[in-house]
Amino acid sequence: MSEFTVAKVAVEKTVYHFDKAFDYCVPETLLADAKPGCRVIVPFGGANSKRQGIILAITEQKVADCLKPILAVLDKAPLLSNEGLQLVSWMKEHYFCTLFDAVKLLLPAGLNLKIRTEYSLAVNSDTLFMEDFSESEKQVIRYLAHARTSVDRDKLLSAMGFSDDSVLQKLCSANVLVKSSGAVRRIGDAAQKMVRLTDLSYLPKLTKKQKNVYDLLCEAGSASLKELCYFAGVTPVVVNTLATKGIVQYFEMEVYRNPYEHISGNGDAEDIVLSSEQQKAFENLYQQYRSGKGGVSLLYGVTGSGKTSVFMRLIDEVKGEGRGIIVMVPEISLTPQTVALFHQRYGRSVAVFHSGLSLGERLDEWKRVKNGEAQIAVGTRSAVFAPFQDLGIIIVDEEQEYTYKSESSPRYHAREVAKFRCAYHKALLVLSSATPSIESYYLAQNGRYSLNTLSTRFGCAELPEVTVVDMNRELENGNDTILSAELFSALNDNLKNGKQSILLLNRRGFHTFVSCKKCGQVVTCPHCSISLTYHSANKRLMCHYCGYSIPFTKECPQCHENQVYYTGWGTQRAEQQLQELLPDARILRLDTDSTMTRFAYERKLRLFAQGEYDIIVGTQMVAKGLDFENVTLVGVLSADQTLYSDDFRSYERAFDLITQVVGRSGRGKFAGRAIIQTFTPENSILRLAARQDYQEFYKGEIAIRKAMLYPPYSDICVIGFVGNMQDQVHKASKTFLSNLAFLAKSEYPEQPLRVLNPAPALIGKVNNKYRYKLIIKCRNNAKLREMISRLLIQFSENREYKSVTVFADMNPNSIL
């Protein structure tokens, strides 16, 4: 045993049950470069296999001489700060993921992957004494002098006939060459071919190249075809094959070099004059911020009360002090106005983080934050990882939104990560909402969070007057259209008066399912336990879970009669009927239809703001964040389906959705109204939402949570099991349960636990994979997590269940 400098390295592509920080020795030559937070190449596994990793820590320790060495250090300066490294370990411990999976969240997509390395001459070749160089060195210098530009590493190596970089490295250390790396910038064509994954949850066997594409898209969400081929190292043919297999799809996106150029202001912020209620909230928040103790504050304000103005005022102050600011929004497309506001006000000091940007843009924005060029990061949940050195404040707008929780590994909640970061920086965390999550409001009530309330709308605006319409009555009166008499006449009034309206079509309530009139057979997906949906755009029946689709025919798969019909309303059909009922109305349909790009969406909203449309019809995305003073009517076409789910959060979600959409009406100088159509008019949640009565809703809901032992009275950890054979999956879940019972009793007797029997997930089969779940009501503390982690490892090591995958999800969005 002798003393070595040892690097603790998080290595990519490990599996959870043997993931840890692996030890490598740092060879003499790399001592200066190997710093915590730098990426490295290390030997890993058999033969000559190498992997990428990142150094978590450097220690001096006595170890056996046989420790393998780090092969190369990839970064000159650390990519992750000390905070980032701590966050990585924290995430592994809290979300049962591997270290490197956590690392990947902190780095911009694309950086993790192969990035082009280029070489160019650092000096004019005429100034060099060529006699000083070896033959092969001369060859390189001549080649590059001739090329007059930087040359891709691989190209250079093959042109020179070199097998490795050693000659090039040597010339670099002699300062003759410079090595650079970076993503390609795209240059604006009008539209760009983009690629994203389809909803396919099952994956057929892929070739290595296809897998590269797939992995990249998993990480990036979407990418331009050009970048995708570049980063994954494949030709477009590979992507095309994936498209034919239904694994990826193409879409178009307009290109802006700076995606927000068209709305960027010059950043001279005009002073915001706050109302007295807003001022008070601002002062409280500012004081809490100034105290330097950090902490969490809930900014609870009714719709249209001006929460945005309050936190912008706060941002002005924090910005003045030069500290970093993160503003999170649930979904960029839900909040185009908020994002635009930030750009207008803060100009280039805003960096944007979300998956709609190209990989190159994401890398740029990440660097702008890291280099201190941008002080405000605005974006979706990934913005929580913006690499600020000194963070002053994090704002989570619409904090109750489920999009802040990641549904795939690492299954983190951005609100919790924000808490970690704020605690580290002694920064203030502000959670903002008109309908806070029950958990957050509970903590504010208990004094764990400070609470600031805005109880009235800004200016002279009032909350809208709301009517609930019983659609059973309408049917009795012979009206079977989607509009009740009342909503129809209100829409007509608005048209006459030049006012605008917003109609919410709850997608769930407007499913078009397909059944046979003769035998009653509902047409279902052969791979999933779910019925197929009719899409009028391509006249096909589609499965929303696996992407399976067949052309629509009237022939029944069961009795072979030509009797198959579709029923229910799709957004397109609703729009059609609306147009028939209101022939003069200019109707704008908004939904998450894949043909609609984000920028098209923003442009359409601008047109709506300019009065080019009378009515917006859309799904969930019209319910939130929109702020148009000319909108004086909101209609909810069917408020039923949202209320019918069994999940313990379904009431909260229904209340949130209705309250928010009603809140889009009457925000300016004109009084507003809202009409809610329903077949269940007595429903109490609906009544409370119609009254915008959060307090009453909270009182009822918290009592249920307490009685049923749901959050915030307990935490819920769901263990999921997925596999090809149903009995194996079921058996696995039972084995897990008995392991859990045993371990809990023998080693964790002090943990409060309630475990429900394993059961099939709500959609029990998705693409031929069976899914079971085990629900554990528990206290999410270190001991509990340790126990879960041990169980996961124990399970993975059990060869009997090697065909079953298992995962743990702490406080998931849904327990179905």
Residue 558 touches which of Zn ion, ligand ATP, none (Cβ within 5-8 Å per kind): Zn ion
Other beta carbons within 10 Å of 580: 9
Looking up tokens 């990035």 gives 115
β-pairing verdict for 116-121 and 177-182: antiparallel
Q: In the complex with ligand ATP, which residue's Cβ is closer, 251 or 670?
A: 670
556 annotated as belonging to a binding site for a ligand: yes
Q: According to CB under 6 A, which residues from 109 to 168 bind ligand ATP?
A: none
Assign 685 to helix, strand or coil. helix
Tokens representing residue 736 in the block = 């897990």
Q: Is 545 in the site for Zn ion (CB under 5 A)?
A: yes
One-character DSSP codes across 727-774:
HHHHHHHHHHHHHHHHHHHHH-TTS--EEPPPEEEEEEEETTEEEEEE
Question: At which residue do the structure tokens 């059990």 appear?
Answer: 798
32 versus 273: smaller Cβ distance to ligand ATP: 273
CA–CA gap between residue 645 and residue 663 (Å, rounded): 24
Q: How far is the CB of 243 from Zn ion (least distance, A)?
A: 19
- Angle (nearest 5°) at CA 648 between 761 and 664: 115
153 binds, among Zn ion, ligand ATP, none (CB under 5 to 8 A by kind): none
Question: Closer to Zn ion at the Cβ: 64 or 559?
Answer: 559
Tell me whether residue 483 or residue 661 sits nearer to ligand ATP (CB atom): 661
In angstroms, give the least distance from the CB of 606 to ligand ATP.
Answer: 15
- In the complex with Zn ion, the residue whose CB is nearer, 520 or 752, is 520
Of 543, 657, 716, 722, the one binding Zn ion by CB under 5 A: 543
| 309/452 with CB nearer ligand ATP | 309
3-state secondary structure of 409: coil
CB of 206 to ligand ATP, least distance (A): 43
DSSP letter at 250? E
> Which pairing describes strands 376-379 and 324-328: parallel, antiparallel, or unpaired?
parallel
Interface with Zn ion includes 558 (CB under 5 A)?
Answer: yes
Nearest to 434 by CA among 692, 715, 651: 692
d(CA 383, CA 387): 9
Pick the closer one to ligand ATP by CB: 452 or 494: 452
Separation in Å, CA 629 to CA 41, 461, 550, 667, 672: 56, 10, 44, 5, 10
Is 717 annotated in a binding site? The answer is no
Cβ proximity to ligand ATP: between 306 and 379 the closer is 306
Return the residue of 218, 237, 475, 559 that touches Zn ion, per CB under 5 A.
559
Task: Name which of Zn ion, ligand ATP, none residue 516 binds, using a CB cut-off of 5 to 8 Å depending on partner kind.
Answer: Zn ion
CA distance 701 to 437: 11
Give, as ranges, the residues between 723 and 762 that touch ligand ATP (CB under 6 A): none
Least distance between Zn ion and beta carbon 355 (Å) = 24
Alpha carbon distance 17, 466 (integer Å): 54
From the list ligand ATP, Zn ion, none, pick the one residue 613 interacts with, judged by a Cβ distance below 5 to 8 Å according to partner type: none
DSSP state of 66: T
516 marked as part of a ligand binding site: yes
Residues 432-491 interacting with ligand ATP (rule: CB under 6 A): 434, 458
Minimum CB distance to ligand ATP, residue 464 (Å): 11
Beta bridge partners of 213: none
Annotated binding residue 525? yes
Q: How far apart are CA 336 and CA 602, in angstroms?
A: 6
Applying CB under 6 A, what is the total number of residues that bind ligand ATP? 19
Q: Which residues 244-273 are close enough to bind ligand ATP by CB under 6 A?
A: 272-273
Distance CA 753, CA 55 (A): 37
Query: What is the nearest approach in angstroms of ligand ATP to the Cβ of residue 455?
Result: 11
The answer to whether 97 is a known ligand-binding residue is no
- The smaller minimum CB distance to Zn ion, of residues 531 and 811, is found at 531
The tokens describing 121, both together, are 């001459």
Is residue 556 at the binding interface for Zn ion, with CB under 5 A as the rule? yes
Nearer to Zn ion, 507 or 527 (CB): 527
CA distance 105 to 84: 10
The neighbour count for residue 815, using CB atoms within 10 Å, is: 19
Question: Within positions 607 to 636, which residues make up the interface with ligand ATP, using CB under 6 A?
Answer: 625, 627
Query: Which listed option, Zn ion, ligand ATP, none, makes contact with residue 303 (CB within 5 to 8 Å by class)?
Result: ligand ATP
**CA 217 to chain CA centroid, nearest Å:** 13
Are 464 and 674 a contacting pair, CB within 8 Å? yes
CB of 435 to ligand ATP, least distance (A): 8
Does 667 interact with ligand ATP (rule: CB under 6 A)? yes
| Of positions 42, 528, 636, 685, contacts Zn ion by CB under 5 A | 528
User: Does 559 show up as a binding residue in the annotation?
Assistant: yes
Backbone angles phi, psi at 776, to 5 degrees: -115, 120
Residue 410: asked if its preceding bond is cis (omega within 30°), the reply is yes
Q: Say whether the peptide bond before residue 69 is cis (omega within 30 degrees of 0).
A: no
Sign, CA dihedral 478-484-490-494, equals negative
> 3-13 as b/e, with b when 16 or more CB fall inside 10 Å?
ebbbbbbbbbe
Kindly tell me which residue out of 5, 89, 201, 275 binds ligand ATP, with binding defined by CB under 6 A: 275
Return the structure tokens found at 128.
């060099």
CB of 664 to ligand ATP, least distance (A): 7
Q: Does 316 bind ligand ATP (CB under 6 A)?
A: no
Structure tokens belonging to residue 748: 């964790």
To ligand ATP, the closest distance from the beta carbon of 658 in angstroms equals: 13
Give the x-and-dash track for 283-312 against ligand ATP (CB under 6 A).
Answer: ------------------x-xxxxxxx---
Cβ closest to Zn ion, residue 459 vs residue 557: 557
The CB-of-398 to ligand ATP minimum distance in angstroms stands at 7
Q: Is 522 in the site for Zn ion (CB under 5 A)?
A: no
* Residue 278 binds to ligand ATP (criterion: CB under 6 A): yes
Listing from the earlier edge strand, what are the strands of the sheet with 465-470? Answer: 465-470, 673-678, 631-636, 500-504, 615-618, 587-590
Nearest-approach distance from CB 280 to ligand ATP, in angstroms: 12
Rounded to whole angstroms, the maximal C-alpha distance in the chain is 100
543 marked among binding-site residues: yes
> 429: which strand partners?
296, 394
Of 525, 574, 626, 717, which one interacts with Zn ion (CB under 5 A)?
A: 525
Tell me how far, at minimum, the Cβ of 355 lies from ligand ATP, in Å: 23
Residues that bind Zn ion (CB under 5 A): 516, 518-519, 521, 525, 527-528, 543, 545-546, 548, 556, 558-559
Binding site members for Zn(2+) = 516, 519, 525, 528, 543, 546, 556, 559
Residues that bind ligand ATP (CB under 6 A): 272-275, 278, 301, 303-309, 434, 458, 625, 627, 663, 667
